[in-house]
Structure 1
Amino acid sequence: LVQLPCVPLRAIKQLNSQDILRGDTLENLTQVRTALDYLEHIKMVFEEHRGCLSQYQTGDRQVKPWAFPTKMVFAELDRFVQRLQTVERILQTVVELKRLKKMEFSGVKGRTHTQIAQLLHQDFTETFSVFCEKTSDCLDVSNKDFEVDACCFLQKVENAERSLGAVFEQAFNLASGLEQAFKVLEMFGTLLARPMVACKAREKYPILIRMFSAEMDTCLQLFRERMQLEEQPGYAAVSKNMPAVSGGLKWAQQLQERIHISFNNFRFVSDPCMEAGEAKETFQKYEEIENLLKR
């Protein structure tokens, strides 16, 4: 217990408090998460030993139980963990908002969205730069100025995300079809998890499911029409110069690729609506077509 006050110092041995917000963001984020895992492990080991103190009993000597509150032991460490979590949140924000720089929307209206994304990235970069200049030692829990500055910074980020959510909504609405809609989701990537963007994305996921359902209906209809045409003499599945068997396989492969591309794009969607009834029915259509093509 005497050594516990030194735990935070051991955890930040590899962390440079002066450069943690200024160096390689992804590398620093990894180091912060490693430190958090280490500190969490310390608390876990403490609780494990607390529950089996009897094993340390020798002879008639009784081992006194640790009846004191855990919070009393880890009060200082918990404050440090909370500070590290704030730093982690800031670094994660920087990593995710870097995507703004690479955003490029197609179409006439897409140019406007691209310009907005670039402006948001520029404003965010400047805001983060000012924040870093004001911050001295972000790992010093006694540095209350950091808490104020961090709160102000994250509030500005939230305002930027609100504008970004509007861009997502407009870009999705302009998507000409399922493929374009998925391209919008792919472009936003991890930004879809940002609170202000996520609330807009959740409104669009049911629409995306219905678009995918319509695509599966189209593919199923194509399959049925193909089966009917195949019964006609002289019908060529793909090309009149291609043998019937290889032509049929080629056609099935093309249709399979079509449904796979759309289905695999749902990896960008992480939302409870994916487990709801409408989504399950739609994915059952996909499995039905998949099974038909395997025959």
Structure 2
Amino acid sequence: MMMMMMMMMLMMMMMMMMMTMMMIEWLIIKTCRSFLDPFEVFKGEIEETIHKIQKAISILKYFRSIYAQYAKHRVAKMFAAAHPQQNTTDTNNSDGEQAATAAWSFPDELVFYKFDAFLQRLHVVKGIIEMAIEFLKLEKMELSGVNGKMLSMSVGGVYEAFQQHFKIFTENNYDNLDPTNHLFDRDLQRFEEKMADLDRNLGSLVCQGFDDLDNVEDIFKMMDCFGNVMDRPAIQLDVQSRLPVTIKMFSAELDRVKLVYDAQMQTRASNPNGVPVQRNFPSVAGQVKWARELCARISRPYNMFCQPEQQDEWRTDMKKFMEQPRGQEMQAKYKEMMQLLQNTCQFWALGREIPPRAKEMFENVDMYLKYSQNLDLLVTCYNRIQLSSSPTLSALLRGEMEQIDSLLVRAETNLNWKSAGLNVVSFKKCGAT
């Protein structure tokens, strides 16, 4: 009888907590609605509105995390402390964590179903406004290329169509933040259908602009001008098929630079004093400047391929293509050309010919590059095993690691780049060990 009374009291306490939580949620939702004005959320300044929505979402998420921290853990411990006999019995179970929190076992959906629905609606509204911000940037879009003017006018048409659809969607008199408002869902579905058509049109224009350009720098500038619009699924699907072409285009540019370099070297070999340089430049300084300009010609586009601070989806896809064989080949070709031009600059600045040993070194640059890359990969794998292995795994690998250490000692003391029997070994499997 006593146990039944305790269970009833516990259930009553839990019900009271549920009611209290629901009242707190209602007050938070009411405050957010007053802060955002659900009837005017699409009609104010876009930048100010998106800032207010982000602030509201962060507050709602913070409340959810506080609930998880206190209600799920500290309140459960409080119940466990209030019933030590039950707690002792529960701790003998195989699932101690589940037994310890059994006192707070009702689903969160019973408490947070309105809260989560309101938070989801805020995310939907935030996504619509962010999309509007990106599409409004198309107003002053100017594309280069042979057909750049015509394509710019077409992009302007997409911008005007978006303005019209957005105006129709946002000019309503109902509550935009009410999750039970089916009129909002109906209008949103119609708006998304219109936006799907605009995405297809804009994706076609981006592909036409892509095909109209023959310079990697101009292509990257065009894609940066479109901004996050490029990350929309329909547009991204169209652009993704064009990304490998940029790698092929830049690889062809490297070949052209190599031909220019070889032609200059032949001219210099036949007539050292007759090498064409820029006007008003002395011979050596002019040749050095010429080599540096070739470096700039290939380094600027290459740096656009590798921009870690940019997190756009199409740049993520580009990085994946760069890891494929064609991308790896292009990177190796670029590094070889840059090293050649930099070395040429140094020797010309000193007024010296390239020594035979340096020429021999350069002829074997591919082999040395493979050695260097394999060595870097070996060091990375070795350090990963040493630093991230658990004590149990370290004990299991102790014999193998001692053998590796003994080989490394011999490599450090006896081996060099020209040692006999030094084969190019692939360590690709090391990353999976």
Pick the TM interval, shorter chain: 0.7 to 0.9
Aligned match of 1:18: 39
Residue 251, structure 1, aligned to residue 290, structure 2: yes
Deviation at 1:172, TM superposition (A): 1.7
Aligned match of 1:5: 26
Structure 1 runs not aligned, ≥5 long: none
Q: 2:104 aligns with which of 58, 62, 66?
A: 66
CA distance in 2, matches of 1:49, 1:289: 61
Structure 2 runs not aligned, ≥5 long: 1-20, 84-99, 344-433
CA distance in 1, matches of 2:58, 2:258: 49
Q: 1:284 aligns with which of 332, 354, 364?
A: 332
CA distance in 2, matches of 1:105, 1:14: 41
Deviation at 1:108, TM superposition (A): 6.5
Residue 83, structure 1, aligned to residue 121, structure 2: yes
CA distance in 2, matches of 1:242, 1:185: 38
Between 134-143 and 8-17, report the one with greater CA deviation.
8-17
Distance 1:277 1:61, change over 3 A: same
TM normalised by structure 2 equals 0.60
Residue 36, structure 1, aligned to residue 57, structure 2: yes
Q: Which amino acid aligns with 1:42?
A: F
Distance 1:37 1:248, change over 3 A: farther
Deviation at 1:58, TM superposition (A): 9.4
CA contact (8 A) 1:162 1:196 kept: yes
- Cα RMSD over matched residues? 2.9
Deviation at 1:119, TM superposition (A): 1.9
**Structure 2 matches for 1:103-114, cutoff 5 A?**
103-106=141-144, 109-114=147-152
Between 155-164 and 241-250, report the one with greater CA deviation.
241-250
Higher Cα radius of gyration: 2
Distance 1:34 1:257, change over 3 A: farther
Deviation at 1:135, TM superposition (A): 4.6
Between 103-112 and 181-190, report the one with greater CA deviation.
103-112
Give CA-to-partner distance per residue, 1:217-241, whole Å, 9 cap, x none. Answer: 2234434544555555215463374
Q: Which amino acid aligns with 1:189?
A: G
Q: 2:66 aligns with which of 45, 65, 72?
A: 45
Deviation at 1:50, TM superposition (A): 4.5
CA distance in 1, matches of 2:332, 2:29: 51
Deviation at 1:11, TM superposition (A): 4.1
**Structure 2 matches for 1:96-245, cutoff 5 A?**
96-106=134-144, 109-227=147-265, 229-231=267-269, 232-236=271-275, 238-239=277-278, 241-245=280-284
CA contact (8 A) 2:162 2:195 kept: yes
CA distance in 1, matches of 2:131, 2:57: 17
CA distance in 2, matches of 1:95, 1:19: 17
TM normalised by structure 1 equals 0.85
